[in-house]
Chains A and B, each alone.
Chain A
């Protein structure tokens, strides 16, 4: 009895030793920064000299910051289009490539490849594809007699281009997640539905879709969080232009904090964005719960 307690004490001490590097790094680079971000958002910290408490001044300032709200409108527009499109296309590709057939692995690999590219490399390749005169996309449209737009330099198509590029990069990994989800749907459900005379569309509506709800919840949550923090592609493709049409909150926070060194103000903007991410995630959670009760 005494021996085992001693052993447990030793075990616990070793366990704390094992997790100590992780905990130390977590404290320094997550816990401290989170509290500091909150504190900084009430100061006028500018790296060089000042760090005075200025109360709610930053938050008051951002209410009237037109550029900030434009970046929010941009990223909301992006999210509202990108996230459903991402779910739809990934699911469709997964459904298409779910069945074991000859060569299906090759098709899966080809669809997965874009997820391996970095955002910068993908955006660089697409800069060329979207070139107004010599780009592949407009060349393609030219075959059908259509004169394509200057994708990245027109306000009405710039965001569509960013959506296109990020979608190209996102489909592959979500397809794999959906494929894993589809493997988990028990076969007997389909068989009994077939016996009951349900057609393919009904089988999808009443078996596949409800069974995939946890998967869809995961995919949608991750893509909402990623979409609201869009930066890399917007930075490389359009530098936030034209006329700030593709500037995102993270982009603005980066510029505000690290180019103009208004770190206090940028911190308050980061908190507003975090709040938006939280709200969107909660709405998403509510939506997938609500569906549960219907089906």
Chain B
């Protein structure tokens, strides 16, 4: 039927298909976007309009009282700062150690290059739940840290310290793998030239190759920031001190303790999403490149 219509009036069939596309695409996209819109609207509504039946879409007046309520009941600003610090540290360490190792695996000759790299890759398959408990043990009993003696007992090690989050994630295997794949695409003759001119290996890495990886570093940086900012279970395990809580922990505690304060809850959730959203708006193309990479090479 459709075939016959479009064979008589080719333009008509195409217009119909375009119309269907836009209707379907609009409905799907709106369904995906609606939760954002709804939480923004809720966070700006006075309380009596939040609890209205049937739904009241637009607020009669815009109020920021829920934002101030959220920030005054819970030290959200402090949590925000903690999360920001942890995420940035994660980015810096992963960019540095990841590219240093990735460069070595991609560009330098050494006997154990392939075997070590294979072991790292294979270990990526180990589910996080297996290492969760013993990692806690290792951090608690790390010698000479947090009141521990040489045998790792006496104190509480790195538990309750930001290092308990920074150190285990400082050189993720994904970062090493990602950077290695990028360094492989760069030519090696620049290295030979620089060696003849007498440049040291670290200098060659830092001055010649690293500047060429800026797009890869941006992609990896965004990925690492997002992972660090959004992580929840591990910080909840190792950080007990309320002053060291992250924004995700703060948000969870808030929504658990104030189960009917939906206005402040939405305000808190939006604040917790905001940094990633800003990053996305500024650096959109690097986000998509990162996922496409994991899709093609993964």
Contact = CB atoms under 8 A, between A and B. Distances in A.
Given A18-B103, A33-B131, 6 more contacts: A23-B116, A103-B22, A111-B28, A123-B255, A218-B295, A258-B237
Contacts of A103: 22
Contact of A107 (B29, B53, B229, B255): B29
Contacts of A107: 25-26, 28-29
A76 interface: no
B29 A110 contact: yes
B168 A96 contact: no
Interface of A, helix, strand, loop or mixed by DSSP? helix
A75 B81 CA distance: 35
B232 A118 contact: yes
Nearest to B254: A124
A274 interface: yes
A101 B21 contact: yes
Contacts of B251: 120-121, 124
Interface in B147-164: none
A139 B53 contact: yes
Contact of A12 (B55, B111, B173): B111
Interface of A: 7-8, 10-12, 14-16, 18-19, 21-23, 25-26, 28-34, 36-37, 40, 45, 93, 96-97, 101, 103-104, 106-107, 109-114, 116-129, 131, 133-134, 136, 139-140, 142-143, 168, 171-173, 176-181, 184, 215, 218, 225, 228-229, 231-232, 235-236, 239, 249-250, 253-254, 257-258, 263, 266-267, 270-271, 273-274, 277
B28 A93 contact: yes
A128 B266 contact: yes
Contacts of B201: 10-11, 14, 18
Contacts of B130: 33-34, 37, 270-271, 274
A96 B25 contact: yes
A223 to B, nearest CB: 13
B89 interface: no
B50 to A, nearest CB: 7
Nearest to A233: B232
B91 interface: no
Nearest to B204: A14
B35 A118 contact: no
Given A37-B133, A96-B21, A26 B138 contact: no
Contacts of B298: 218
Contact of B295 (A101, A176, A274): A176
Given A12-B110, A22-B171, A124 B268 contact: yes
A181 B129 CA distance: 30
Contacts of A215: 295
A180 B103 contact: no
A176 B138 contact: no
A89 B258 CA distance: 34
